[in-house]
Structures are given as structure tokens and as C-alpha cells.
Amino acid sequence: MEIQSQAYLFSRLADTQMAALEGLIYITTEKQGKSGFFKVFDVDRSQIIRTSLLICDPCTMVFLNTNSQMTPVQSSTLSTWRQSPTSVVKMYKGVPTDDDEQAATQIFSNPIQGVYNEEIRMEIVEKFSVSLGAFYFKTTDDFYFVIQPYYSDLNTYTTTGYTSTGFYMKSKDQVPKNVTVLCVRDTRFNGTTGANVVGSLPNPNGKVTVGENDGDDNRSITVPPQKVINGWTTNHIGQNITINSVNSEGGEYFVQYFVRQGQLIPETSSMATTTSSAAVTTTTATTTFVASTTQNVVTSSKSATTLATATTNTMTPTTLPGSTTTGNVETTTKSSRKVQILLLLIVTSFVGFWQN
């Protein structure tokens, strides 16, 4: 059915019966309706979605949720996320039009759009909930996930991998709250923590804060959410990530967070015990100093002092250049005395010979 300007729905149900109905009618554009790569789903039950089985590449998938009996209303939870190595997935709020989306307006993506517009691909996407009546994906290649009509609270959630990404949103109907995500980490490795923030708050003083925390060591970003991504990253992985807001009542915001494990941190202490050269020891300490944070610099400086002391003590009993020179002088001095004694004996013998 093609609609030019208006559409009417007729039913033989009584008004009371009509009032009790819940649902929606989704009207697509002509282009969308004729496309085999445009799909619409009602989140009324648990469903497995896989684009390769839908024969949909590239694919636009719209998800609609009219369930107002849950808290927050119209919530959908996504889990068991899988992508092929070359797949690109972007999630947007609302419904799509025939026009292309504005750059950096997605509320979630994998690969992630980094601070410097680099793409960061994550092997693990954590379970997350979307509290929207309508949202959609634009995808390429194979994409698989499970979607269910319920809300999963992110607060005190623990990540399932050393490198992963997740999502949190506050809907317009939700009361603002503080959220803490516990991070699985291996402190032998360095790494990064980051977040992309999108949204709209009616209060001009409204702001969203995303922080990385490791005891008293904290780093964060505080921004007024906008339609375009505000990105942030820090070269640390703490014990947890916190998300909170001020003056956000009646507004909505979306946060994609991620942790990314890096390289194994060199064990400076164990390396120092195997070095026998003072020059090598100094070089090792300097490398650690450059690669470490300010807090690690203090540790590295202490380690460098200890190494220098240990090296000096070890080298003291050995033959150092100064000691070698002194030894030669002493040896030469003793040899000269032997020559003098020998000459004295010869002279004495010679004098005695002439006296005879």
C-alpha cells in the first residue's frame, strides 16, 4: 500500500477493545519498502538475529518496542554479540530515512570510532540494554546477536574480557543514577580506557561524567552531551568505570565505553638482577622511566638508585681501571728494589775483588 499524505485504519472492534490494544503500524518510505535489505522487527519475544540468514548485506534493521509494562519502559536487551572480522555495525536512535546519517551520530558501533577518528575493533561486546521505542542498525557482512524484551541493569556489571566494549543509556523517563562497571584486568599489562558520549539534555547546565578509577587514582571527562560524539580516552585501565550526570532530568544520553588491554609491562626488577654492566642497568632504568606514568617514575627512580648501588658494590672487589694502575706502580716499585739490591751485591763483589 502506498501512502501519499494520510492513512486511515478501520476496525470493527468496539472502542473499549481498541483502547486496550497495544502495538504500532510502521510506515516505510517507498525506497525502503522496495529494498530487500531493509528489515523491521517487533521486540515482543526473544529472537536470534543473523544477517547472513536474512540474506541482508548491507542491511538496515529497525527494532520496535511498545512494551510499557516494564521499567524502564520499552527496554530491549542485546547479548551474544558476534561479528565477522570485516563486519561494521552502527546503531542509531529512532527510525531511518532515505538520507545518509550524519557522521559521528551513532550511539554505538563496532569498530568504535576513536578520538582521532581511528577505528577500534572489539572482539567482545558486553550485554547491554536499549530503552527506546525505536532504534536501528546499519551493518555490513555477517552480524549475529540475541535480542530480548527486558531490562538488564548495568550497575555493578563485570566485564567479561580484557578487551571489550559496552553501552549504557539514560532514557527521558528514567531517573538519573550513578552507574559503576567493574573491569576485569591484568595489571601486568598496560592499556586504555575510553568512552563516546552522545545525547541531549534540556537543562543547559546538564552534563555527563565518565571516569576511570583505580583507588585514589582517577581520570574522567565531563561534557554536555550533543548530537555528535564527544570522545575520550586515557592510557590506564582502572578497577572500574563510573557513569553519572547532573541536571539530566527529562533528557537522554548514550555512553559507549571500552577497555583495551595493551602490551606486557617490562619487569624492571627481574631484568636488573641479570645485568652485569652498569651501562646496561642505566639504560634499562631509563627505558622504564620513559614508558611509565608519573607514579611509576618514582618507582623507577628508586629502582635505578638501588641498581647503581648494587653495581658499585659488585664492582668494588674486581680490578677497576684505577686499581689496575696502582697495582702496576706497586709492581714496578718492587721490581726496582730488586734491581737496586742486585746492583748493590754486584758493586760490593766488585770492590772486594779489587781489594784482593
Q: One-letter amino acid identity for 62?
A: V
**With 50 as the cut, is the pLDDT of residue 85 above it?**
yes
| 180 in the same domain as 302 | no
| 234 in the same domain as 133 | yes
Total structural domains in the chain? 2
pLDDT of residue 120: 96
Q: Sorting pLDDT into bands at 50, 70 and 90, what band is 190?
A: very high
Q: Sorting pLDDT into bands at 50, 70 and 90, what band is 22?
A: confident
The per-residue pLDDT for range 96-119, each reduced to its tens digit, is: 999 999 999 999 999 999 888 899
| 298 in the same domain as 178 | no
**With 60 as the cut, is the pLDDT of residue 156 above it?**
yes
State the average pLDDT over residues 117-122. 93
**Structural domain containing residue 91:** 15-264
| 150 in the same domain as 31 | yes
| 178 in the same domain as 114 | yes
| 301 in the same domain as 161 | no
- Residues in Cβ contact with 103 at an 8 Å cutoff, skipping those fewer than 6 apart: 228
For every residue of 73-116, DSSP letters joined together read: TTEEEEEEEEE-TT-EEEEEES---SSPPPTT--SEEESEE-TT
pLDDT of residue 299: 29
| 301 in the same domain as 199 | no
Q: Residue 211 domain-assigned?
A: yes
| 99 in the same domain as 62 | yes
| 210 in the same domain as 86 | yes
| 159 in the same domain as 58 | yes
Nearest-CA neighbor of 75 among 17, 149, 13, 144?
149
Q: Sorting pLDDT into bands at 50, 70 and 90, what band is 269?
A: low
| 254 in the same domain as 161 | yes
Q: Is residue 237 helix, strand or coil?
A: coil
Q: Residue 318 domain-assigned?
A: no
Residue 283 or residue 182, greater confidence: 182
Q: Residue 290 domain-assigned?
A: yes
Which of 264, 297, 330 is the C-terminal boundary of a domain? 264
